[in-house]
Chains A and B, each alone.
Chain A
Amino acid sequence: MPLRAKVASSVSRTAAALSRAAGRGDGSVIGGWIGLKIDPDLLAHLSAGRAIALVSGTNGKTTTTRLTSAAVGVLGRVATNSFGANMPSGHTSALAKAGSTPYAVLEVDEHYLAQVLEATEPHVVALLNLSRDQLDRAKEVAMMAQLWRAALVRHTDVRVVANADDPLVVWAATPPGDPARGINPPHVTWFSAGQRWHDDSWVCPECGSTIQRSGEQWWCTGCPLRRPEPHWVVEDEGVLDPTGAWHKVSLQLPGKVNLGNAATALAVAAEFGVRPVDAVSRLGIVTSVAGRYAQVDKDGRNIRLLLAKNPASWLEAFDMADEAPTLLSINARDPDGLDTSWLYDVDFAPLRGRQVLITGDRAYDLAVRLDVNDVPFQHVRTFDDALRSVPPGRLEVIANYTAFQDIRAELDRVI
């Protein structure tokens, strides 16, 4: 590593330690930010010599990154940004902190995928899904697919692991090659993890025609784009690998969506030569991810935290939650997106019959939504009020990003 990079890396580690000691954060961003100021190529320097996997998409990337790190861990030490700090400063900080490791698995914010592909030259990139998320500041969904596709054209040597069930991902993962210039399309391994949310992919990204669906199949009515045959498939409580062998997956994380994340993790690990039979038991050690799915006992209540930050992830959260009293909390601060209109993209009907409490900065938006949805609810001002309003036993908490962090803070920053 060049001297400048060594200095930057060391300063980066020190700043992260200071940030943690000062109680200002978990140090996962600030160290990398300072390091990158000293050496803008620090991320590239820190990546050199490591076999790297990038994980990107709208939903599930933090959890999939954690599961993938566990799976790749069969081979040796893995550096990873496990606190969801998923921009280049977070990657820099994570790699600097880990020191020299043979492997790294990095979660990447979907907007930064092109930049991080460039800097880290990964062996594998996993593309999970693309759906609407904070449109007041994020790029429109179709434009994001276009950016991914353009980035992959420049990195046709990277191995792609992509979701066959998401038309936008399939299109992004299959840019045309250019045989005249000796450029082949990237090698893609397809997984099927199911997709509950379809409302961002009714229109073909290639030709603008309607996309038809029937069961798990989908196809464009105007061009050849269609669902590729997946190599890795979730089946029952396990995963079918490309050889047709089925592996039981016992996770401590709830919901079908996490089985899909497990299938993705096994597929990515396989690109490094990890056999699923060796990796599958390691997936069960992951309990909670930056507070997500964490369970806390307080005042006789068993509180479980579920993060739901956009329509697709709310549908998944309802699937994971038990039939138990449920607290919903909604904020609309910068990290959440300022527009709450998306509440109408979510059907809250699965909550009928449960005791529903609502709170958060934007509880009234949620109140109007639930009213129209015929879901009875009770508005509470604070988390403690919510606790007092439910009987002893399980309390499911479903919250969007900053609302989730607020509640996590009430529970002593549970991880």
Chain B
Amino acid sequence: MSSESLRIVWIYPDLLSTYGDRGNALILARRARQRGMPVEVLEVRSDERLPATADIYLVGGGEDGPQALGAQRLLADGGLHRAVAQGSVVFGVCAGYQLLGTSFFAKGVQCRGLELLDLRSDRGESRAVGELAGEIDPRLGLPPLTGFENHGGRTHLGPEVSPLARVTAGVGNDGATEGAWRGKLLGTYSHGPALARNPALADLLLRWATGAHQLPPLDDTWSDRLRNERRSAVAAARA
């Protein structure tokens, strides 16, 4: 960690918070505090400078216009690139995932991304809306991914990133893989929010940020019930 407390930056909630993205910040902060870590959550709006010294950066989902604007402002600001160079953790969801790549489409126009992840996104023939599930890259040691996706993009991964998961339900990147990660950068199409549906993913980000190999377990009764219930719903829809 960079200082006394774990610093979480929620990037541009004024632009990129279309669907419950605040939840990811709330859950990360709570799970850190429950382990006794002091936490500071900074909401940085798009007319403010991005601090380059935080531990975890969250980029949420957004509509086309705000997504393009958010990418432009992040490129102009440069703070996120400096933070990544210093080893900070970045977690992007949906539009926030796409804009970490080299390019994406918004309002029919190809837009330049932040080039932090080796991937590019274009438009699919149909919108991907519904439950999303997958088996996560075994190297990350996490239980299956569950979430809700709602996007028109298709994402193509380059050789420098690994897929986050192999899709078992839904579309994700392209119907076969979902999300991507490299080093301490990770992106996904999962809403839910993603960290509410996947507390183990939240803990992975906390471990990356703190360097801890293990974190004390928490009471995840309700998350477990939610995950089981969603898994049954996906199975029932398939039957």
A142 and B23 CA atoms in complex are apart in Å by 23
Residue interface mask B144-162, A partner, CB < 8 A = 1: 0000101000000000000
Bound complex: CA A199 to CA B60 (Å)? 14
Q: How far is the CA of A141 from the CA of B66 in the complex (A)?
A: 12
B45 contacts A by Cβ under 8 Å: yes
* List of B residues within 8 angstroms of A18 by Cβ: none
The chain A residue sitting closest to B29, CB to CB, is A372
| Given A202-B45, A339-B148, A344-B23, also A142-B226 (CB < 8 A) | no
**Given A135-B18, A203-B15, A364-B229, A338 and B148 touching (CB < 8 A)?**
yes
Question: Which residues of chain B in 59-85 are interfacial with respect to chain A, using CB atoms and an 8 Å cutoff?
Answer: 63-66, 69
Q: Collect the chain B residues with CB atoms within 8 Å of residue A135's CB.
A: 18-19, 150
Name the contact of A367 in the complex, choosing from B22, B64, B226 (C-beta under 8 A).
B226
Interface pair A338/B18, CB less than 8 Å apart: no
Describe B's contact surface by its main secondary structure: mixed
- Taking a contact as CB atoms under 8 Å apart, the answer to whether A367 and B225 are in contact is yes
B-chain residues with CB within 8 Å of residue A343 when the two chains form the complex:
20, 23
List residues of chain B with CB within 8 A of the CB of A365. 196, 226
Question: In the complex, which residues 335-375 of chain A have their Cβ closer than 8 Å to any Cβ of chain B?
Answer: 338-345, 364-365, 367-369, 371-373
Closest residue of chain B to A208, judged by CB?
A: B69
Q: Are B20 and A372 in contact (CB under 8 A)?
A: no
Number of contact residues on B: which range applies?
Answer: 20 to 34
Binding site for A on B (CB under 8 A): 13-15, 17-23, 26-27, 30, 45-47, 63-66, 69, 129-130, 148, 150, 191-193, 196, 222-223, 225-226, 229
What 3 pairs across the A-B complex have the smallest Cβ distances? A344-B23, A341-B20, A202-B14
- 26 contacts across the A-B interface (CB closer than 8 A): A135-B18, A136-B150, A199-B17, A202-B14, A202-B45, A203-B65, A203-B66, A221-B47, A339-B148, A339-B191, A340-B20, A341-B19, A341-B23, A341-B191, A342-B19, A343-B23, A344-B22, A345-B19, A364-B222, A364-B226, A364-B229, A367-B225, A368-B223, A371-B222, A372-B23, A372-B30
Known: A203-B66, A341-B148, A345-B22. 13 other contacts (CB 8 A): A142-B65, A143-B63, A203-B69, A210-B45, A340-B192, A341-B193, A343-B23, A344-B26, A367-B226, A368-B196, A369-B196, A372-B27, A373-B26
